[in-house]
Amino acid sequence: MENILIKTIDLTKTYNVGEIDVHALKSVNITIEKGEFVAIMGASGSGKSTLMNLLGCLDMPTTGDYFLDGINTSKLPQNEYAHIRNQKIGFVFQGFNLLPRTTALENVELPLMYDRLEKVKNHQKQASQALERVGLGDRMHHIPSQLSGGQQQRVALARALVNQPSIILADEPTGNLDSVTSVEVFNLFQKLNDEGITIVMVTHERDFAAFAKRIIEMRDGRVIRDSKIKDRLNAEEELKKVIAEAEIKE
Amino acid sequence: MQAKIILKVATKSIMKSRMRSLLTALGIIIGVAAVVVMVAIGDGAQQKVEQSIASLGTNLIIITPGSSNTGGVRGGMGTFSRFTFDDVDKIKNEAMLIKGVSPLVRSGGQVIGGVGNWFTSIQGVSPDYLDIREWPLQSGEFFTDRDVLARAKVCVLGTEVVKNLFPNDDPIGQQIRIRNTPFKVIGVLKEKGQSATGTSNDDVILAPSRTVQDRLSGGRFITSIQVSALSADKIPAAIAELKGIMRESHKIEPGMDDDFTIRDQSDLSEAATETSRILTILLASVAGVSLIVGGIGIMNIMLVSVTERTREIGIRLSVGARASDILIQFLTEAIVLSLSGGVIGVAFSFLVAYLLNNYTDQTAYIKPQIIMIAFGFAGAIGIFFGFYPARKASALNPIDALRYE
């Protein structure tokens, strides 16, 4: 039981749009252990983004319970919610969501600023270490508009990592990136996962889902399939392949 | 979050859009500068009035005769004088709370001497008069009590008279003729400037009181009695004391009205300062309106800023910012904007005050309190007009804020 990081019990989310109730999630039960790399798949409207928002404590379930690291988050007040987002969760978004006109370093420092426990005294040092970890040690003082898409996403990843969260949640992390850069990002994900970081990501490309260890498929707000990946892709090898292909094309 | 970080974040986002921040703060800059300058002009005017009232002598008490009452028909103030030198002597001998007392015998006439002639006012006084009016001599000497008793024909000239009769020569030792009586000039008074009523203090000749009475005004009564109290806080007690002495001297039965009036300059200064105070309030409230308009400018920009930075708010919320963190951040931005506007505005008002004081007739006097009040107002406006946009920002839901395009 100690190994369980995420456990949802009958998680339900209903949105009221006018007079119609939209059931985005219908009684979802999933369990994710520490060290897993899970890809959540599904067509748009399947409820995967809603699930992601609930897992990320950005939203509250209508009914059901969500245990993160042993804490039942669905009973917590707003400020505790913010605290959990800060301490236990690192978010990576499709659109990177970096602060514009702000250096990579300052972007990465952001979660440390809102850490009420003040675990880290030297924000700058911690942030630069996180940037080095994603291979951007030489781009610390660049602002997002001076960085490529892949680099921006790596800054976002560094920001997600900086508070040493229990889990990284990635919502279509490569949706805005070309295939080479995407594979690069997955390479980084796999490395981090090898280091023991739990990752849950949403994607709708089966090719990319194969980089994970486990796929949860959703449709109409329900989990329809939950399976281990047998022949998992190694991003590092794939990266060599796509680079070679790209060179042939040229 | 630590206060230091909050301030850093606020100043950073202000500096990110410098032009807009400057224009936003401009409303406060102009508002604060306007309030400070307007109040400074009002205070400057008030100070001028106070100075000209102080030129009468700070502890001055004036006893003037009451109205005449002839068969029930009452004349106006000063229509009838029963003041004599005996009254002055009695005050001099009995009053404990006074520093000096002088009769004032007012006369006037054509004066011939030096290069021509000049019509001026002649005041018969005693040697105490210079002390009472705090009026030093510029040169020469003043007459003595012996000169008064001897009815000596000596006089002291105001600078205005000197200017008209002796523009080139030293008047001391010269003879002048006042209404055909020759007087020897023994001293010149220092220039005193305008009086509270706007006339020149310096267009005057002072001579011994008894000389003026005998030679010029005639009769045995004197125009008024000028007294100086020991100190400003003893003025009310001195007035009470003088009242008693005068009633006794004039043998007024208990229950009967005084036949004299005692005034100190507080009546005069109150009226004058009241006028300039009303002016100050009027000017300041007009300027205050512009400060409020500046505040609305801040609110407007902050509201735009909240909409524009919705994603930023979403990002901050997603990495663990509380609603209160967002509220404080935006509120701090508004306060930093308005306070720095206040600083620049005060600096600007010092410049304007400097220009007014050095290049125009207008005097502006910036009191330290008004700077504190201006800062207080600027800060309060930041809080008041910054609160609504900040509340709006902090009420955002993280998901909606992140999705906002």
Contact B362, B12 (CB under 8 A): no
Contact A214, A229 (CB under 8 A): yes
Domain assignment present for A67: no
Chain B residues with CB under 8 Å of A163 CB are 320
Chain A nearest-CA residue for B321:
A114
CA distances from B184 to A43, B178, B208, B326 (A): 118, 10, 12, 86
Q: Which residue has the tokens 């021509």?
A: B116
> What phi and psi values does residue A11 have, to the nearest 5 degrees?
-70, 125
Contact B52, B134 (CB under 8 A): no
pTM of the model: 0.72
Average pLDDT over residues B40-60: 77
* Cα B56 from Cα B72, distance rounded (Å): 35
B319:A159 CB<8 A: yes
pLDDT given for residue B370 in this prediction: 87
B56 pLDDT above the threshold of 70: no
A90 pLDDT above the threshold of 90: yes
Average pLDDT over residues B3-8: 84
* Cα B376 from Cα B68, distance rounded (Å): 57
- Measure the CA angle with vertex A148, ends A145 and A149; round to 5°: 100
pLDDT given for residue A162 in this prediction: 94
User: Which of B16, B315, B322 lies at the smallest CB-CB distance from A82?
Assistant: B322
Residue B401 falls in which region: left (phi positive, over 0), alpha (psi -120 to 50) or beta: alpha
Q: Is A87 on the interface with B (CB under 8 A)?
A: yes
% pLDDT > 70, chain A: 99
Among residues A166, A165, A168, A167, the alpha carbon closest in space to that of A154 is found at A168
Supply the mean pLDDT for chain A.
91
Min distance A57 CA to chain B CA atoms (Å)? 9
The more confidently predicted of residues A132 and B193 is A132
Domain assignment present for A11: no
Residue A243's CB is within 10 A of a number of other CB atoms, namely: 12
Interface residues from chain B to A (CB-CB < 8 Å): 1, 5, 9, 12, 16, 311-312, 314-325, 397-399, 402
Please state the domain extents for chain B. Answer: 3-52+270-403, 101-226
A86:B320 CB<8 A: yes
The pLDDT tens digits for B182-209 are 999 999 988 877 665 667 788 889 999 8
* Cα B367 from Cα B376, distance rounded (Å): 15
- DSSP symbol at A3: T
| Partners of B182 in beta bridges | B177
Residue B334, both tokens: 């508004």
* Cα B176 from Cα B173, distance rounded (Å): 10
Which of B7, B319, B402, B404 is the best substitution to test chain A (most A C-beta atoms within 10 A)? B319
Average pLDDT over residues B292-312: 88
Q: Is A16 on the interface with B (CB under 8 A)?
A: no
Domain assignment present for A132: yes
The pLDDT tens digits for A24-36 are 999 999 999 999 9
Domain assignment present for A65: no
A114:B325 CB<8 A: yes
Min distance B357 CA to chain A CA atoms (Å)? 46
Rg, C-alpha atoms of chain B: 33
For residue B57, the one-letter residue type is G
Residue A220, both tokens: 């109409």
ipTM for the complex shown? 0.93
Residue A111, both tokens: 């979660």
User: Which of A58, A102, A113 lies at the smallest CB-CB distance from B318?
Assistant: A58
What is the domain extent for residue A55? 35-60+76-249
Residue A202 — pLDDT band, cuts 50, 70, 90? very high
Domain assignment present for A42: yes
pLDDT given for residue B131 in this prediction: 85
Sequence-distant (≥ 6) Cβ neighbours of residue B391 within 8 angstroms: B327
One DSSP character per residue, B333-398 reads HHHHHHHHHHHHHHHHHHHHHHHHHHHSS------HHHHHHHHHHHHHHHHHHHHHHHHHHHT--H
For residue B389, the one-letter residue type is P
Q: Which residue has the tokens 């005193």?
A: B192
A110:B323 CB<8 A: no
Domain assignment present for A15: no
Contact A167, A6 (CB under 8 A): yes
pLDDT given for residue B197 in this prediction: 62
Min distance B398 CA to chain A CA atoms (Å)? 6
* Cα A182 from Cα A176, distance rounded (Å): 9
* Cα A94 from Cα B17, distance rounded (Å): 27
Kind of pairing between the strands at B98-113 and B73-74 = unpaired
User: What is the CATH classification number for the domain harbouring A242?
Assistant: 3.40.50.300
B9:A115 CB<8 A: no
The pLDDT tens digits for B88-124 are 888 888 888 888 889 888 888 888 888 888 888 899 9
3-class SS letters over B119-166: EEEEEEECCCHHHHCCCCEEEECCCCHHHHHCCCCEEEECHHHHHHHC
Chain B residues with CB under 8 Å of A85 CB are 317-320
pLDDT given for residue A33 in this prediction: 94
Supply the mean pLDDT for chain B.
85
- Measure the CA angle with vertex A53, ends A166 and A22; round to 5°: 155
The pLDDT tens digits for B163-185 are 888 888 888 888 888 888 899 99
Burial class of residue A9 (count of CB atoms within 10 Å of its CB; 0-12, 13-18, 19+): middle
* Cα A9 from Cα A29, distance rounded (Å): 5
Chain B nearest-CA residue for A53:
B399
Min distance A209 CA to chain B CA atoms (Å)? 24
pLDDT given for residue B70 in this prediction: 55
Contact B73, B105 (CB under 8 A): no
Average pLDDT over residues B43-51: 80
pLDDT given for residue A169 in this prediction: 95
Chain A residues with CB under 8 Å of B315 CB are 97-99, 110
Residue B239 — pLDDT band, cuts 50, 70, 90? confident
Among residues A28, A36, A29, A30, the alpha carbon closest in space to that of A3 is found at A36
Chain B residues with CB under 8 Å of A168 CB are none
B318:A79 CB<8 A: no
Domain assignment present for A113: yes
Give the total number of structural domains in chain A: 1
A114:B318 CB<8 A: no
Q: Of chain A residues 95-134, which have a CB less than 8 A from chain B?
A: 97-102, 110-111, 113-115
User: Which of B311, B320, B398 lies at the smallest CB-CB distance from A114?
Assistant: B320
- DSSP symbol at A65: E
CA distances from B241 to B48, B65, B98, B100, B126 (A): 32, 17, 9, 14, 21
The pLDDT tens digits for A163-191 are 999 999 999 998 888 888 899 999 999 99
B81 pLDDT above the threshold of 80: no
pLDDT given for residue A168 in this prediction: 95
